[in-house]
Amino acid sequence: MSRNQHIFRPWVPEWLIRLNIFMVMFPTVMLFALSTANVNAATGYYGAEPQDIQFSMLVYYAALVAFTPLEKRFFSRIATKEYFLICLALQVIVTYLTYNAHDLYSLFTGRFLQGILNCGVTSICLTLLFSRLHSEHARETGYSIFYGMILCSGSLTSLVTAPLVDNYEYNVLYKMMIYAFVPGAVLLLLIMNRVHLTRKMPLYQLDWTSFFLYAPMLILLGYILIYGQQYYWLQNVTIRWSIVAIIFLTVVFVVRQLHRKRPFIDMAVFKSKGFVFGIFLLGALYIIRGAFNVTTTYFSQVLGMDPIHTYEVLIYNIIGIVIGAIIAGRLVIQRRPLQFIWLVGFFLLLVFHVSMYFLFAAEADQSTFIAPLIIQGLGAGMLLTPIVLFIISSVPESISASASTAGVFVRFAFFSLSTASINYFSLFFTRIHANSLSENTSALNVQLGERLHLYQAALQGRGLMSDQAAKVAPALLDRAIQKQVYMKYAMDYYEMIAILILILMFMIIMAPYINRTIINVRSNQPAAATV
């Protein structure tokens, strides 16, 4: 019998094994986006600012990125069943403590520990997923499935949690995650044999020093990108010292990696032109993908959709992602030119941003956005997996693990940068357009009185008394101005993203070495944490 046949008990049908793997994977992936499932509800519960909630997600992400290299050693040393039980038990305990957290520092601590423990569960799920795909292209298929789930995680998490947030306190989401973990985990423990899925490695000489250099550096990077604008960047002493600390930690970390036999990240990966180009594309994709939040905010702030209806509309985006990931997986397996795959994917994203530029309006029907949402999902689904496979395949097999680890860092850095850029440009463009619109609605503008009169007449037509309508009408006018300001900001930001996409497409056309890289990950173990 093969090793794959020994992983699970012989009486377990294949369909139940695959279903069980997905039952464990879904809550694992959803845990990442839980912090921002409903930012308004989270800020109200913790008495925090939106930046605090965004930072809690980056703390989780930083822990996941930093612990990835160490996790591989634990996974290879401990039998998979026992390792999963340990990770599960600790994950449930930490999630319960996070559920009981009522202040930001407790929340940050809980999210950091969740990120560390998520590495183990993710590693087990990926390896088990690959073990059930018996074709010669199992890893390509497995990566397509996993990255498709990652792309869907934000919308799917918000859709699932929206009814709970409407009816309960925000922290109940963490209790929901405990309940979501348990059924799949218990079933997996019942049907698995006690086996090692990877070659056993000793646990001595673990490089904890690199971890304690790497993790604070990532957290400080996220801190600067999230809070820098709020504290006026270099005008704030905390921001200045954070930058100094990042520089110091980075220098020490890099020097340490250059002199270690088994480094966290082998710096030789950066000698590959293909690898550098791949991580640049990956970072740009995360900035482009992050711009999708502008659309979801437009649905809620301008069109007035409640969270449930907002994320119901995003089901069409999820459908597009699934289709795009399937198409990308098939094209990679068929050895289609990567330039072709990437150009099609970025072109679809370009179509989405250009179409949304013209669709932003104060009033619109939901059906108007179905096609653009599907197109955006198709583009994102077609790009992420081929780019990641290109990054791993562009370096020698001996350092492919370092390429994967560096790729996780790039995703964290550009995910943080995307969040920061939206925060910055929303304030920048909002201030410009608000000043412009305020000039047009000044007391000297004769149209102001006419617009207020129209609002007042409409309110009286709905039954309000004249004096009440006169008080409410200015608030309606201000609301209309805020909508216009946000739409103009959204148009400006999507114009910038469209230009970025055109530049990327030109670079792809001008990089002939792309198609010389052969996608081959059959002999490479999956990354422990690839969110």
| H or E element that contains 382 | helix 370-393
Q: For residue 379, what pLDDT band results from cuts at 50, 70 and 90?
A: very high
Nearest alpha carbon to residue 379 among 334, 411, 347: 347
Higher pLDDT, 529 or 114: 114
Domain end, chosen from 163, 182, 205, is at 205
Q: For residue 529, what pLDDT band results from cuts at 50, 70 and 90?
A: very low
Query: What percentage of the chain carries pLDDT values higher than 70?
Result: 84
Amino acid occupying residue 315: I
pLDDT value at 76 more than 70: yes
What's the confidence (pLDDT) of residue 146? 79
SS3 8: strand
pLDDT value at 405 more than 70: yes
Higher pLDDT, 499 or 398: 499
Q: For residue 255, what pLDDT band results from cuts at 50, 70 and 90?
A: very high
What's the confidence (pLDDT) of residue 30? 84
Higher pLDDT, 526 or 142: 142
* Radius of gyration from C-alpha coordinates of the chain: 25
What's the confidence (pLDDT) of residue 447? 58
Crossing angle of helices 370-393 and 273-290, in 10° steps, is 160
The mean pLDDT value for 66-90 works out to: 84
In a domain, 419, yes or no: no
pLDDT value at 32 more than 50: yes
The mean pLDDT value for 111-120 works out to: 90
**Alpha-carbon distances, residue 499 vs 102, 306, 381, 492, 495 (angstroms):** 43, 32, 21, 11, 6
What's the confidence (pLDDT) of residue 145? 80
Q: For residue 125, what pLDDT band results from cuts at 50, 70 and 90?
A: confident
In a domain, 411, yes or no: no
In a domain, 308, yes or no: no
pLDDT value at 448 more than 70: no
DSSP symbols for 171-199: THHHHHHHHHHHHHHHHHHHHB-S--SS-
The mean pLDDT value for 363-386 works out to: 90
pLDDT value at 231 more than 60: yes
What's the confidence (pLDDT) of residue 111? 92
Domain end, chosen from 190, 205, 220, is at 205
Interval 433-443: pLDDT, tens: 767 766 655 54
d(Cα 456, Cα 467) in Å, to the nearest integer?
9
pLDDT value at 349 more than 90: yes
In a domain, 82, yes or no: yes
Residue 46 CB neighbour total at 10 angstroms: 19
Q: For residue 445, what pLDDT band results from cuts at 50, 70 and 90?
A: low
Domain end, chosen from 205, 229, 246, is at 205
DSSP symbols for 327-341: HHHHHHHTT--HHHH
What's the confidence (pLDDT) of residue 472? 57
Q: For residue 477, what pLDDT band results from cuts at 50, 70 and 90?
A: low
SS3 76: helix
Which segment, 53-67, 68-82, 428-442, is predicted with the most confidence on average?
Answer: 53-67
d(Cα 428, Cα 50) in Å, to the nearest integer?
17
Residue 94 CB neighbour total at 10 angstroms: 21
In a domain, 105, yes or no: yes
CATH of the domain at 65: 1.20.1250.20
Higher pLDDT, 400 or 179: 179
Residues ≥6 apart with Cβ < 8 Å to 366: 309, 313
Higher pLDDT, 495 or 163: 495
What's the confidence (pLDDT) of residue 114? 92
Sign of CA dihedral 82, 85, 36, 107: negative
What's the confidence (pLDDT) of residue 5? 47
CA-based end-to-end distance of the chain: 33
pLDDT value at 149 more than 50: yes
d(Cα 104, Cα 55) in Å, to the nearest integer?
10
Number of domains in the chain: 2
d(Cα 118, Cα 124) in Å, to the nearest integer?
10
3-state SS record for 79-144:
CHHHHHHHHHHHHHHHHHHHHCCCCHHHHHHHHHHHHHHHHHHHHHHHHHHHHCCCCCCHHHHHHH
pLDDT value at 528 more than 50: no
Higher pLDDT, 480 or 246: 246
In a domain, 518, yes or no: no
Q: Tokens in use for 210? A: 């690199």
Q: Tell me which residue range forms the domain holding 191.
A: 1-205
In a domain, 179, yes or no: yes
What's the angle, vertex CA 431, arms to CA 43 and CA 302, rounded to 5?
Answer: 60
The mean pLDDT value for 438-456 works out to: 58
Sign of CA dihedral 129, 134, 137, 141: negative
In a domain, 187, yes or no: yes
d(Cα 465, Cα 461) in Å, to the nearest integer?
9
d(Cα 66, Cα 71) in Å, to the nearest integer?
10
Higher pLDDT, 118 or 463: 118
- Which of 79-83, 177-181, 226-230, 417-421 is the least confident region? 79-83
pLDDT value at 120 more than 80: yes
What's the confidence (pLDDT) of residue 213? 92
